[in-house]
Amino acid sequence: MSQHAQHVAVVGLGLIGGSVAQTLVADGRRVTGWDPDASTRELAGAACVEVVATLEELAASGAPLVVVAVPLRAVRATVEGLAASLPASTVLTDVASVKGPVRDAVQAAGLGDRYVGAHPMAGTEHSGFAAADPDLLREVRWAVTLDETTNLDAFFTVAEMITGPFASVVHPLTDDVHDEAVALVSHVPHVVATELLNLVVGSPVSEVAQGLAAGSFRDGTRVARTTPRRTQAMVTDNAGWVAAALRLAARDLEVLASQLEEGAQVDEFFDRADPIRGAAAPDRSTRSLQVGADGWQTDLTERGRQGAQVVAVDPGAASVELSEGRAG
C-alpha cells in the first residue's frame, strides 16, 4: 500500500468534506467523491472532483484512502454501505468531531483494522459544498486517534495527507482523550453560544438587545448560528463528556449568581483562568521518533496527551518528526 495516497475518495461533500476534496484537488491528487444530494454532486463535479453516482461506486473506485465526511448520524449506515465493496487494502478515516461513536460504528462494520480517526479543528457556521474552501483545513490542528489495533501503514497514510497537502500538525490521541478535550473547547462552547441566543429570544427586551448587540455578542454566538441539528448531533454523540462539563459550568455559574446577589467578592471566578490567560507559548523542540514496535500506539498517544505533535512522517524509516513543548 502506498503511504502517499495520490487518489483519495471523499464520502460527503459538505463544508468539511468539500474542503478536504478541494484541498486535495489543488494539490494535484485525484479525488473521487460522492454525496447523496444531486446538486452537491454537480457543484463538486464542476470543481474537478470525479463524482460517482453511488456509494458502492466510490468504494470500488480503487482509492487507497477513503475519507468519511457525512453527518455523525449517517456514519453507521455509511460505513456499513462501504464495507460490502471496500478493498481490503483501503485505509478508512473520517473528519467527525466525536471519535468514540465513529470507531464503534467502524468496528461493527468490520473495518476497524484499517481505520484511523481524524478531526480537523476548523470550520465555519456555514454549510454545504458552496461554503467549502481549499484553505479552510490547511495549517490547522488535526486530532488523529489511535487504539492498540491501529495499523502502522494506515496511520502513515492518514498522517501524510494531513502533514502534506494540508500542511497541518497531527495531535495523536486516544478516542477518550479527544472526546473529553473537544467537549471543553468545542462542544460546550457551542452549547453556551446557543444559550446566549436562547436568553435573548426569551427576553422581553429581545429587540432592544439585538439592536445593541456588538462584538462580544457576535463573537460569543457565531457558532450557534449554524444549522442547529448539526450542533445537536455533535453534542448528543459526545453526551457523557459534554454533560459532565456542563454540570461543572452550571455549578460555577450558580455560585457566581449567588455571590452577585449577595454583593460578595467574585474575584476568584474571574481570576481562575489566569494560568491560561497569561501563559506564554511553551518552547518546542523537534526530534525523530521511531514507531512500529509493540505498543507504539500507546506510546504515541501518551506523548500526544502531553502535548506532542507530529509535524512530518517518514514511512520508509518508520519514524515521525515529533514536536514537543517544554516550559520556558
What nine digits make up the cell of 312? Answer: 512530518
DSSP 16-71: HHHHHHHHHHHTT-EEEEE-S-HHHHHHHHHTT-EE-SSHHHHHTS--SEEEE-S-
The pLDDT of residue 3 is: 54
How far apart CA 207 and CA 84 sit, in angstroms, is 54
What nine digits make up the cell of 305? Answer: 496527551
How far apart CA 42 and CA 226 sit, in angstroms, is 23
How far apart CA 86 and CA 62 sit, in angstroms, is 8
- Pairwise pLDDT comparison (271 vs 328), residue with the higher score: 271
CATH architecture, range 179-246: Orthogonal Bundle (1.10)
Evaluate whether 7-173 and 179-246 have a shared fold. no
Spans of all domains in the chain: 7-173, 179-246
The pLDDT of residue 219 is: 95
CATH of domain 7-173: 3.40.50.720
| pLDDT over 60 (residue 328) | no
CB-based contacts of 287, cutoff 8 Å, min separation 6: 321, 322, 324
pLDDT in tens, 137-184: 999 999 999 999 999 999 999 999 999 999 999 999 999 999 999 999
3-state secondary structure of 314: strand
pLDDT in tens, 115-125: 999 999 998 88
pLDDT in tens, 205-250: 999 999 999 999 999 999 999 889 889 989 999 999 999 999 999 9
How far apart CA 225 and CA 234 sit, in angstroms, is 15
pLDDT in tens, 272-295: 999 999 887 788 999 999 999 999
Q: Are 315 and 2 a contacting pair, CB within 8 Å?
A: no
Q: What is the pTM of this model?
A: 0.93
Q: Are 318 and 293 a contacting pair, CB within 8 Å?
A: no
The pLDDT of residue 2 is: 41
Q: Are 119 and 146 a contacting pair, CB within 8 Å?
A: no
pLDDT in tens, 20-47: 999 999 999 999 999 999 999 999 999 9
pLDDT in tens, 51-90: 999 999 999 999 999 999 999 999 999 999 999 999 999 9
